[in-house]
């Protein structure tokens, strides 16, 4: 096949077998193929993978260099990159601090890098749209959701005040983090699985990762994760992360659901999930606020 012969030549492989359109088996192990049509996006993903690591514990899934030392090769109408395919186990909370260090290095790099790639459009909470939908809620839920909308407005105001105070601070450009598929543990090394997605300017993706970590590993696991992160995160950047945690995104899914003419049972189920997310956000805000205050006291004592 054309692709297999081309890979043999470019990577000096002797034996290459196609598993599917995204995987090949070689004498050096299974490799994942990624196809890119956007050169600026590709360059960004090459750069952060090359720079972000926690030696010797965590390595990013870097692009394997071809025989010409290039990390990406032109293929038909775009570019192709090759990565080691890793299928190890997902790390447990015992390595939380190392995971935090990795996220911290990504934040530090994302603050320093100048990239031509266009980031994803920044999201804003949708809670205000719920005011128009309140009349369709079952009576017993109307007052409760109204109270959440009021509290959401207070949270958004606090977040805006923090962001205004830190308006001169730059936000990091980050690959989007996905808790369930981010890392794989192979022997004593973790491989950080990057995406092919557009990067994000700001801390929304870190917030999502922290919420998932808290849900799975509790407060102590989250504190260990933050312990690693804050090695690279200044007080100012921590406050910007805190502002992102304050934003009431938890209500977005209810806004979306109410646009579909849902049943009362579906609304009740969504509100139950919303309450759990709301409590996790409050716990994260308290945790991070306490940590920032403690660090400030240490620095000024």
User: In which element (H, E) is residue 17 found?
Assistant: strand 16-20
Give the neighbor-by-neighbor strand order of the sheet with 16-20.
Answer: 16-20, 23-26, 29-36, 78-84, 73-75
d(CA 41, CA 290): 37
Q: Identify the pLDDT of residue 180.
A: 66
6-10: long-range pairs with CB below 8 Å, 24+: 6/75, 7/82, 10/66, 10/67, 10/68, 10/73
Asked if the peptide bond before residue 161 counts as cis, ω within 30 degrees of 0, the response is: no
d(CA 251, CA 91): 30
Angle at 239 between CA 175 and CA 126, to 5 degrees: 65
d(CA 87, CA 95): 18
Q: Identify the pLDDT of residue 194.
A: 93
Residuewise pLDDT in 10s, the chain (301 residues): 689 999 999 999 999 999 999 999 999 999 999 999 999 999 999 999 999 999 888 999 999 999 999 999 999 999 999 999 987 666 667 889 999 999 999 999 999 988 899 999 888 999 999 998 888 888 889 999 999 999 999 999 999 999 999 999 999 999 999 876 666 766 678 889 999 999 999 999 999 999 999 999 999 999 999 999 999 999 999 999 999 999 999 999 999 999 998 998 999 999 999 999 999 999 999 999 999 988 777 666 5
**Cα–Cα distances in angstroms (integers) from residue 104 to residues 109, 158, 177, 190, 221, in the given order:** 9, 25, 12, 16, 16
Q: Identify the pLDDT of residue 91.
A: 62
Inter-helix orientation angle 235-246/139-165, to 10°? 160
Collapse the DSSP code of 268 into the 3-class scheme (helix H, G, I; strand E, B; otherwise coil) and give the result.
Answer: helix
Q: Identify the pLDDT of residue 129.
A: 93
């Amino acid at each position: 096949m054309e692709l297999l012969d081309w890979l043999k030549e470019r990577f000096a492989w002797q034996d290459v077998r196609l598993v599917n359109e995204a995987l090949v088996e070689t004498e050096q192990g299974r490799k994942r193929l990624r196809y890119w049509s956007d050169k600026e996006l590709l360059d960004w993903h090459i750069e952060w993978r090359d720079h972000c690591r926690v030696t010797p514990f965590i390595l990013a899934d870097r692009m394997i260099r071809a025989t010409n030392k290039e990390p990406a090769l032109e293929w038909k109408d775009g570019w192709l990159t090759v990565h080691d395919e890793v299928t190890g186990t997902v790390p447990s909370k015992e390595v939380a601090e190392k995971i935090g260090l990795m996220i911290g290095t990504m934040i530090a790099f994302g603050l320093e890098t100048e990239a031509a790639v266009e980031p994803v459009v920044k999201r804003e909470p949708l809670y205000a749209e719920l005011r128009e939908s309140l009349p369709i809620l079952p009576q017993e839920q109307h007052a409760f959701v109204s109270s959440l909308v009021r509290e959401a407005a207070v949270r958004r105001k606090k977040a805006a005040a923090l962001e205004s105070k830190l308006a001169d601070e730059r936000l990091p450009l980050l690959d989007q983090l996905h808790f369930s598929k981010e890392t794989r543990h192979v022997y004593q090394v973790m491989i950080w699985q990057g995406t092919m997605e557009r990067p994000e300017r700001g801390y929304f993706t870190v917030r999502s990762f922290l919420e998932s970590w808290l849900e799975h590993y509790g407060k102590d696991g989250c504190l260990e994760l933050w312990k690693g992160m804050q090695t690279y995160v200044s007080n100012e950047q921590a406050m910007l992360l805190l502002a992102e945690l304050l934003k009431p995104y938890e209500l977005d899914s209810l806004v979306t659901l109410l646009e579909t003419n849902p049943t009362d049972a579906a609304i009740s189920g969504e509100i139950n999930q919303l309450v759990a997310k709301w409590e996790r956000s409050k716990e994260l805000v308290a945790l991070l606020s306490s940590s920032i205050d403690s660090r400030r006291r240490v620095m000024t004592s």
